[in-house]
């Protein structure tokens, strides 16, 4: 075969591949445009605390651009129910979170937000016995292999949603062959022996255990230094950082504290006020 023929065949083949790739990209773009979140700007630091208490759990947060949502969960008779002070037997993790997220990811070509490649976070706060809940959580999440990030023999396979287990499953590790969630560590307690950021991707703690400042007046220099050191040390280990129990009333001190969290590089800002945090982050 002549060099000219080889070159011509290569060009033709390359052209076909390029055309097919372009057609696929156009098809993916058209599919993503059908997502109800296609025009939503995702906010990397926005975390919906007690998300299930909003009028439309999950959807209110996502439509405000929140990329992390929190659900308190109770195990009752083999099912995972939502609720803070006790289980609401009319609301399950599956029906209010897993099924809707699966539908959104299908519409978004494998993404919750078509405009965001990074997985969103589903923080599952286990309120009932952790040891009993763990296998049920594993079993339910495993039913969504195209939706849920998972770890196969310790190697992460990213998907649209990454689950992190907190509450009575915080500060844990697991060596199962296929793991369907990470665990939430604590900033004020030693991490489990041998733990790393693939097992505990998030470190969370109560703001008031570490700091006295509530956003009134300037932040004390020593506390600002401490905050930056905590975040820097966590990031050096590959961990993300979140604080709960920060001020959340719509007063100036809340935004003052949020500003310090952003400046320090805190990864998730906790709120029940979806519109308030969206406005704050969008205007920065």
Q: What is the pLDDT of residues 66-97, one digit of tens each?
A: 999 999 999 999 999 999 999 999 999 999 99
Question: Cα 180–133–141 angle (5° rounding)?
Answer: 25
Separation of alpha carbons 75 and 129, rounded Å? 8
Can you tell me the mean pLDDT for 17-23?
A: 49
Q: What is the pLDDT of residue 10?
A: 45
What per-residue confidence (pLDDT) applies to 175? Answer: 87
Residues 6+ apart with CB under 8 A from 104: 35, 36, 37, 62, 112, 160
Q: Is the pLDDT of residue 278 over 90?
A: yes
CB 124 within 8 A of CB 163: yes
Structure token pair of residue 251: 């007063």
Average pLDDT over residues 146-156: 97
* Higher-pLDDT residue of 12, 278: 278
Gap between the Cα atoms of 31 and 186, Å rounded: 40
Angle between helices 221-236 and 252-264 (to 10 degrees): 40
Q: What is the pLDDT of residue 25?
A: 61
> What pLDDT does residue 284 have?
87
E strands in 191-267: 202-206, 240-244
142 in Cβ contact with 177 (< 8 Å): no
Its pTM surpasses 0.95: no
> Both tokens of residue 264?
């320090």
> Mean of the per-residue pLDDT values for the chain?
92
| Ordered domains of the chain (ranges, CATH) | 34-282 (3.20.20.190)
Pairing between β-strand 178-179 and β-strand 150-152 as defined by DSSP bridges: antiparallel
Could you give the C-alpha distances from 158 to 5, 120, 127, 131, 273, in angstroms and in order?
Answer: 43, 10, 27, 25, 29
Position with higher pLDDT, 235 vs 16: 235
Closest CA to 240 of 230, 250, 248, 249: 230
At residue 4 the predicted structure's pLDDT band, cuts being 50, 70 and 90, is low
């Amino acid at each position: 075969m002549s060099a000219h023929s080889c070159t011509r065949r290569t060009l033709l083949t390359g052209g076909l591949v390029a055309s097919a790739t372009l057609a696929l990209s156009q098809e993916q773009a058209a599919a993503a445009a059908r997502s109800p979140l296609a025009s939503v700007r995702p906010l990397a630091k926005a975390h919906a605390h007690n998300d299930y208490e909003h009028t439309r759990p999950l959807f209110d947060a996502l439509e405000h651009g929140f990329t992390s949502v929190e659900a308190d969960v109770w195990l009752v008779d083999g099912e995972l129910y939502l609720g803070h002070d006790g289980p609401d037997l009319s609301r399950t993790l599956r029906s209010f979170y897993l099924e809707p997220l699966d539908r959104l990811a299908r519409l978004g070509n494998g993404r919750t937000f078509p405009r965001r490649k990074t997985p969103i976070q589903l923080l599952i706060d286990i309120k009932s016995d952790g040891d009993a809940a763990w296998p049920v959580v594993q079993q339910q999440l495993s039913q969504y292999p195209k939706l849920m990030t998972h770890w196969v023999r310790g190697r992460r396979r990213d998907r649209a949603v990454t689950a992190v287990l907190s509450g009575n499953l915080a500060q844990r590790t697991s060596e199962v062959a296929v793991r369907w969630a990470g665990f939430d560590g604590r900033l004020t307690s030693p991490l489990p022996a041998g733990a790393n950021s693939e097992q505990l991707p998030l470190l969370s703690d109560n703001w008031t255990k570490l700091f006295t400042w509530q956003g009134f007046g300037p932040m004390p220099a020593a506390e600002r230094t401490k905050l930056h050191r905590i975040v820097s040390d966590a990031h050096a280990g590959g961990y993300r950082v979140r604080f709960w129990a920060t001020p959340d009333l719509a007063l100036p001190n809340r935004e003052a504290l949020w500003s310090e969290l952003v400046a320090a590089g805190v990864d998730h800002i906790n709120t029940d006020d979806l519109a308030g945090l969206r406005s704050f982050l969008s205007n920065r």
